[in-house]
Amino acid sequence: MKISRLTLLAFLCALLVVAPARAELNWLTDFQKAQQDAKTSHKLLLINFTGSDWCPWCLRLHRDVFSKPEFESYARDHLVLVMADFPRAKPLSKEVRRQNQELAERFGVQGFPTIVVLNGEGKQVGELGYVPGGATAFIDELKRLPQS
């Protein structure tokens, strides 16, 4: 019996080592850095205007789309991600708060969630909100946007 427990323990440990770890997406908060990254990597820049700790549709967008493996995979290959957050309880630095407000004014954001997509040159190529149908439907909408 001890041998089988040790074998099982060794097997489980091996699974932990071999199983690919799912890394979280890197949502930037520095718009200028993100814009430069998008330009140099030839990717689209997706700005997520969100109320991350209070907006029901924002929370649903995160749950139904942004946290799904298919979106994470697509984003790694095609997008630079920026979160322009407008939380009620979560603290933000004064600089980030000011930047997010300026971005919201620049892109005419009226409500949350609003997704603004820019090309590498900083030109707006699309705007989305919550898209029913989960990550696949959201990715399909992104694929319809012009790349330049």
pLDDT in tens, 20-74: 445 578 999 999 999 999 999 999 999 999 999 999 999 999 999 999 999 999 9
Q: How far is Cα 138 from Cα 120, in angstroms, rounded to an integer?
A: 20
Mean pLDDT over the full length of the chain? 89
Q: Count CB-CB contacts under 10 A for residue 110.
A: 8
d(CA 48, CA 58): 9
What CATH number is given to the structural domain containing 97?
Answer: 3.40.30.10
Nearest to 50 by CA among 103, 10, 4, 8: 103
Q: Say how many domains are in the chain.
A: 1
| Position 105 in a domain | yes
Name which residue leads in pLDDT, 5 or 68: 68
Confidence of residue 147 (pLDDT cuts 50, 70, 90): confident
Is pLDDT at 1 greater than 50 in this prediction? Answer: no
106 within a domain of the structure (yes/no): yes
Buried b (16+ CB within 10 A) or exposed e, 9-46: eeeeeeeeeeeeeeeeeebbbebeebbebbbeeebbbb
**7 is a domain residue:** no
- Within-domain flag for 82: yes
Degrees to nearest 5, angle at CA 89 with 87 and 116: 5
Confirm whether 66 is domain-assigned.
yes
What is the pLDDT at residue 18?
A: 42
Task: Pick the more confident residue, 59 or 10.
Answer: 59
Residue 136 burial (CB count, 10 A): 13
- Is residue 10 in some structural domain? no
What's the domain range around 116? 24-143
Q: Is residue 3 part of a domain?
A: no
Longest dimension (CA), the chain: 68
